[in-house]
Amino acid sequence: MTFRLVTWNINSVRARVGLLAQLAQALNPDVICLQEIKVENDKFPTDAITEIGYGHQAVFGMKAYHGVATLSKQPLTKEVRHNWCGKDDARHIAVTVAGNVELHNLYIPAGGDVPDPALNDKFAHKLQFFEEQTAWWSEQKGRSRRILVGDLNVAPLETDVWSHKQLLKVVSHTPIEVEHYARMEAAHGWVDAVRHVIPPADTLYSWWSYRARDWRASNKGRRLDHVWVTPALKGAVKDAFVYDEARDWEKASDHAPVVVDLDL
């Protein structure tokens, strides 16, 4: 069974329900994982998304900020919401999807502008979030079929940013963030599904700033959005790509959807 999974930082689901419909029509995914939905659970556009074809919805939202949602054509089971760093800020929801796969939808803090935890509480929060995730995943045993997706807010490879040299001191690509990212990835033996398909030597981005008048011309992107699978699912990964056409849509998110096809 071919299973198409999309992860997308939609940057306000209520503002972009129409774009979600475009995405569904263009890609026909089985499951869509959204981050930064920016809405409380009771105000989530449930009916509109059901009409698009995704009547099974697991939502963990909050007013105006953050929030994650997993949308599916087929039933979702075993929904669990996780909080981290002593904050109730709606950044992690887990469900079980088709094929008895445990799917984790995650939105890691962006970290602010100053990459120094002593000077920037947001950056300290980001590093603590990674540390807690790393410790937790190192203890998660007994399930071999797991997928983790989301806006992890780190571009780990030199080919994941438009300029490795210029971004070494910019939040999302600093050495300390890349180290934390790598520790979390190693903690559960995760495999980068996208780079399993697209060679690490190839330049690849999923986010382009709104500041650029012509984002394609400047192409100053970063790969912040990721799909990881456990080793048992590595062989199931058949294709992966960034659907950058969505970045051209009217009132687009600054993130493009990331797509992974698996044979489940």
- The pLDDT tens digits for 215-252 are 999 999 999 999 999 999 999 999 999 999 999 999 99
Q: How far is CA 202 from CA 70, 157, 237, 259, in A?
A: 29, 10, 18, 17
Q: Are 54 and 71 in contact (CB under 8 A)?
A: yes
Instruction: Please give the pLDDT value at position 141.
Output: 85
How many Å is the maximal CA-CA distance in the chain? 50
What is the residue-wise DSSP string for 187-203? Answer: HTT-EEHHHHHS-TTS-
Q: Are 175 and 183 in contact (CB under 8 A)?
A: no
Return the residue matching tokens 């995943």. 137
In the chain, what are the domain boundaries? Answer: 2-263
Three-class DSSP category at 216: helix
Q: What is the mean pLDDT of the chain?
A: 97
- The pLDDT tens digits for 192-218 are 999 999 999 999 999 999 999 899 999
Give the CATH fold of the 2-263 domain. Deoxyribonuclease I; Chain A (3.60.10)
Q: Are 4 and 28 in contact (CB under 8 A)?
A: yes
Instruction: Please give the pLDDT value at position 60.
Output: 98
Amino acid identity, residue 42?
A: D
What is the residue-wise DSSP string for 136-168? Answer: HHHH--S---EEEEEE-----SGGGBS-HHHHT
pTM over 0.95: yes
